[in-house]
């Protein structure tokens, strides 16, 4: 394909933030009607480059050409006029607005002096029906799951008939069935001549849909290749500039005393009769299909949501947990699945986010002790290998992986005995994932316990000592390491469905 087939060209794009050169003379070309996948570790510059294309950031140097014409993209609305749409890794929506309001936000159709609400309702209803999405236009997004909102973000992007669609980790929070639906949509968009830039850390996805792959490292584009001419191992090696010998490092630990026991925990209509235990030195996984009740159960244990009946025991002593403060006081911490919504406070600094859950350690006698705070933050963030210009940097400017490391640092400062990690490696590159696994291993070696929720079965199999599987709000089984396999987990994950089918026969 010649230059005339390049719908987008970037030439020598450079972007510097205080103390950090995020992009260094990056060149990139997107061909019409293709999927171009970007790979690279968190902080390599992928998302920064996409935000420049979308008008969120302005490049310091370099040119942007669309269909061969040099353009200046002032802001996201200007990008939309140029036929560009972006689906961010961190979902952007207004929780207390309805689906239709979020869909049309910033682009309201007018009828006379007011908004044409009748057109909005009619168009939104038809669009939802056309895309096969089972939502009502007037539902508030606060009541929907991360998976639901992710699908609606994709709907919002494609509904504008954009010709350049940027997808930043679009499958990080959706089911395999929804992934298949998304990939079918991508093929449909390609057939219409649209071009997709797709950022992902999931190698199986990359090689399912990529026409071309560009690999980023340290703010530079290292190599661009046809997908059929490069292997998974080569992609990983280019990303990290070294070979990853063992993707899931696992250490042998001594199983200690019982730290947590849950008996018959129930929240009516959400999860029922959930019982399990966790010992020191263990990493215990929770598997299941989307909606199985894993996250909801852990939120109740952590005091984020109420439960109707059942018992929670910490160190063999029954406790009552009605809120997060009580949970922390009892030695439980939780990394939630949506770091943007409930893991960080975006406008606060790295320092403030790190010490947010352990302020009693830096406040004595009614006053803040800045030196003690700086010492704690430096120790925690260095241990977590957080990449940031300084600790006063707003956390929202960090990559997703580095934000996740700050959240880890925040909870480890609380010195918990039990750490609940809900999708802890979602949207994180292979190098950062290994760092997270090593930190979890060290946590277990210190005699503490981890509950890990993950939708990635190889991850659970690679790092866990035992795995509980949930199906439709129940625990359908528990597996030990000698019983681990993806087939065994999936059989338990669909156990309720299978039993219903057998009874019907």
Residue 37 has pLDDT above 80, yes or no: yes
Same fold, 3-96+140-240 and 246-331+416-433+447-505: yes
Q: Which two tokens mark 466?
A: 């035992």
Q: 485 by DSSP, 3-state: which?
A: coil
- Max alpha carbon distance in the chain (Å)? 72
Q: Which residues contact 130 (CB under 8 A, 6 or more apart)?
A: none
pLDDT tens digit string along 227-273? 999 988 888 888 877 665 667 888 888 899 999 999 999 999 999 99
Report the alpha-carbon distance of residue 271 to residue 2 in Å, rounded.
57
The SS3 of residue 448 is coil
pLDDT tens digit sequence for 315-348: 999 999 999 999 999 999 998 887 777 778 888 9
Of the candidates 228, 269, 276, 197, the one whose C-alpha atom is nearest the C-alpha of residue 39 is: 197
Q: How confident is the model at residue 498 (pLDDT cuts 50, 70, 90)?
A: very low
For the segment 343-359, the average pLDDT, to the nearest whole number, is 88
Q: CA geometry: angle at 398 spanning 95 and 234, to 5°?
A: 110
CATH class held by domain 246-331+416-433+447-505: alpha beta
Q: For residue 385, what are the β-bridge partners? A: none
Q: Helix H segments across 357-477?
A: 370-383, 400-412, 430-445, 457-463
Pairing of strands 367-368, 110-111: unpaired
Question: Pairing relation of β-strands 35-40 and 61-66?
Answer: unpaired
Q: Is the pLDDT of residue 432 over 70?
A: yes
Beta-bridge partners for 235: none
Q: Tell me the C-alpha distance between 56 and 68, whole Å.
A: 22
Query: Which of 334-343, 380-389, 470-479 has the lowest average pLDDT?
Result: 334-343
Q: What is the dihedral of CA 398, 96, 199, 189, to 10 degrees?
A: -160
- What does the alpha-carbon distance between residue 98 and residue 140 come to, in Å, rounded to a whole number? 4
Element (H, E) at 259: strand 258-267
pLDDT at 500: 42
Q: How many CB atoms lie within 10 A of CB 444?
A: 27
pLDDT per position as a tens digit, 58-95: 999 999 999 999 999 999 889 988 999 888 766 667 88
Of the CATH numbers 3.40.50.460, 3.90.1660.10, 3.40.50.300, 3.10.20.30, which one belongs to the domain with range 3-96+140-240?
Answer: 3.40.50.300
**In the chain, where are the structural domains located?**
3-96+140-240, 246-331+416-433+447-505, 343-415
Helix, strand, or coil here: 224?
Answer: strand
N residues, the chain: 505
Contacts of 40 (CB under 8 A, 6+ apart): 46, 215, 216, 217, 239, 429
Q: What does DSSP say about strands 195-199 and 164-168: parallel, antiparallel, or unpaired?
A: parallel
251: left (phi over 0), alpha (psi -120 to 50) or beta: beta
Q: Evaluate if pTM is beyond 0.75.
A: no
Q: How far apart are CA 411 and CA 400, in angstroms?
A: 17
Q: How far apart are CA 14 and CA 26, in angstroms?
A: 7
Phi, psi of 37 (to 5 degrees): -90, 135
Distance CA 280, CA 118 (A): 59
The chain-wide mean pLDDT, for the chain, equals 87
CA 30 remoteness from chain centre: 25
């Amino acid at each position: 394909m010649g230059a005339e087939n390049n719908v987008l060209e970037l030439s020598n794009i450079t972007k510097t933030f205080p103390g950090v050169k995020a992009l260094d003379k990056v060149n990139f070309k997107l061909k019409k009607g293709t999927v171009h996948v970007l790979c690279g570790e968190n902080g390599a510059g992928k998302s920064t480059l996409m935000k420049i294309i979308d008008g969120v950031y302005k490049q310091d140097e370099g040119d942007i050409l669309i269909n061969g014409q040099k353009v200046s993209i002032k802001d996201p609305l200007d990008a939309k006029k140029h036929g560009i749409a972006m689906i961010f890794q961190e979902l952007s929506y207004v929780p207390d607005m309805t689906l239709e309001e979020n869909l049309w936000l910033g682009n309201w159709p007018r009828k006379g002096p007011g908004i044409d609400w009748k057109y909005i309702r009619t168009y939104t209803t038809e669009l939802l029906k056309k895309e096969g999405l089972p939502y009502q236009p007037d539902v508030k997004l606060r009541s929907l799951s991360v998976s639901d909102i992710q699908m609606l973000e994709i709907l919002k992007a494609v509904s504008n008939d954009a010709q350049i669609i940027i997808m930043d980790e679009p499958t990080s929070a959706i089911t395999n069935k929804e992934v298949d639906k998304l990939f079918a949509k991508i093929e449909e968009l390609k057939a219409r001549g649209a071009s997709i830039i797709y950022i992902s850390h999931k190698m199986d996805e990359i090689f399912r849909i990529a026409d071309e792959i560009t690999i980023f490292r340290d703010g530079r584009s290292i190599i661009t290749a046809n997908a059929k001419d490069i292997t998974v191992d080569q992609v990983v090696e280019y990303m990290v500039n070294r070979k990853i010998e063992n993707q899931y490092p696992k250490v042998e630990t001594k199983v200690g005393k019982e730290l947590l026991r849950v008996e018959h925990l129930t929240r009516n209509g959400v999860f029922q009769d959930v019982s399990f235990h966790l010992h020191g030195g263990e990493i215990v996984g929770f598997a299941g299909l989307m909606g199985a009740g894993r996250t909801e159960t852990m939120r109740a244990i952590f005091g984020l949501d109420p439960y109707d009946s059942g018992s929670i025991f910490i160190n063999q002593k029954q406790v009552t947990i009605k809120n997060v403060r009580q949970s922390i006081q009892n030695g439980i911490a939780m990394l939630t699945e949506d770091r943007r919504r409930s893991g960080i406070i975006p406008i606060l600094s790295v320092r403030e986010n790190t010490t947010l859950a352990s302020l009693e350690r830096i406040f004595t006698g009614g006053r803040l002790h800045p030196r003690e705070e700086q010492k704690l933050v430096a120790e925690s963030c260095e241990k977590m290998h957080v990449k940031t210009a300084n600790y006063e940097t707003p956390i929202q400017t960090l990559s997703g992986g580095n934000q996740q490391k700050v959240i880890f640092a925040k909870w480890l400062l609380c010195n918990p005995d039990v750490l609940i990690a809900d999708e802890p490696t979602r949207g994180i590159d292979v190098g950062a994932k290994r760092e997270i696994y090593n930190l979890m291993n060290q946590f277990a070696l210190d005699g503490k316990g981890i509950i890990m929720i993950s939708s990635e079965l190889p991850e659970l199999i690679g790092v866990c000592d035992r795995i509980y599987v949930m199906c439709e709000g129940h625990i359908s089984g528990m597996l030990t390491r000698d019983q681990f396999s993806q087939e065994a987990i999936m059989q338990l994950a669909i156990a309720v469905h299978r039993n219903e089918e057998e009874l019907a026969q």
